[in-house]
Amino acid sequence: LAELVSGVAKIAANHDLVISVIAHAGDGNTHPLIVYDPSDAAMEQRAQLAFGEIMDVAVGLGGTITGEHGVGRLKRPWLAGQLGPEAMELNRRIKLALDPEGILNPGAAI
């Protein structure tokens, strides 16, 4: 947890952003909060890059990109890197079996 918080602090400094880490310290479940002005395109781009770097740090430390809330559209680009191709294919097959017409939660990660 300390390495994650230190990594997030470095990412915040590198991208000139304010990033807070709110956590359930007992189980290591963290919620990084990136503060940025969405009307500032450059700042928004830095925030998006920082978010990806935070996901990479979490996985690199043996953690996960998700905890209690699942993987939504924001974290979708990092899911395959965490699970690997075999697990992604298994999830796709399960989704296809349960939703062959793709009408349940269209556009979701799997």
The residue range of the domain holding 92 is 71-110
Residues 6 and 40 in one domain: yes
Per-residue pLDDT 10s for the chain (110 aa) are 899 999 999 999 999 999 999 988 777 788 899 999 999 999 999 999 999 999 999 999 988 887 666 677 788 888 888 888 999 999 899 999 999 998 988 877 66
Give yes or no: residues 75 and 108 share one domain.
yes
Q: How many domains, the chain?
A: 2
- Are 9 and 34 in a shared domain? yes
pTM of structure = 0.77
Together in a domain, 35 and 8: yes
Report pLDDT for 67. 65
58 and 10 fall within a common domain: yes
If we measure between CA atoms, which residue out of 9, 8, 109, 21 comes closest to residue 52?
8
Give one word for 7, left, alpha or beta, with left for phi > 0 and alpha for psi -120 to 50. Answer: alpha
55 and 6 fall within a common domain: yes
